[in-house]
């Protein structure tokens, strides 16, 4: 079941920290214990999001995708099921 949450973020550093902390919280991982990578996603040659991959214990991977168009982050479990959708809100006005 997908749950929804809303989070105010204003810059790429806050986005990275939010994604990392959320993945660690969901899967009960210690913050800072596992590496996370990111890759810019492109559609028709233009950036459309960022793919995040946290490499957890025993080579298990937890992922999230930030969609720029809808300004939301979709979180996925190790078997590819979507487990959380977070709508991002800009505080900057």
pLDDT of residue 11: 84
Q: What is the DSSP string of 14-26?
A: HHHHHHHHHHHHH
Neighbour count for residue 50 (Cβ, 10 Å): 19
Q: What is the DSSP letter of 86?
A: E
Task: Write down the number of H helices and E strands in the chain.
Answer: 1, 6
28: left (phi over 0), alpha (psi -120 to 50) or beta: left
Q: In degrees, to the nearest 5, what angle opens at C-alpha 64 toward C-alphas 33 and 19?
A: 55
Q: How many domains does the chain have?
A: 1
Strand partners, 80: none
Range of the structural domain that residue 20 is part of = 3-89
Instruction: Encode the chain (93 residues) as per-residue pLDDT tens digits.
Output: 455 566 677 788 999 999 999 999 999 999 999 999 999 999 999 999 999 999 999 999 999 999 999 999 999 999 999 999 998 886 654
């Amino acid at each position: 079941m997908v749950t929804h949450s809303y989070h105010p973020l204003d810059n790429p550093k806050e986005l990275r920290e939010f994604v990392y902390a959320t993945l660690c919280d969901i899967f009960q991982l210690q913050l800072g214990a596992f590496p996370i990578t990111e890759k810019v996603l492109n559609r028709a040659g233009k950036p459309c999001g960022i793919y995040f991959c946290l490499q957890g214990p025993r080579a298990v991977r937890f992922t999230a995708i930030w969609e720029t168009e809808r300004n939301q982050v979709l979180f996925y479990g190790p078997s590819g099921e979507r487990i959380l959708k977070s709508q991002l809100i800009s505080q900057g006005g």
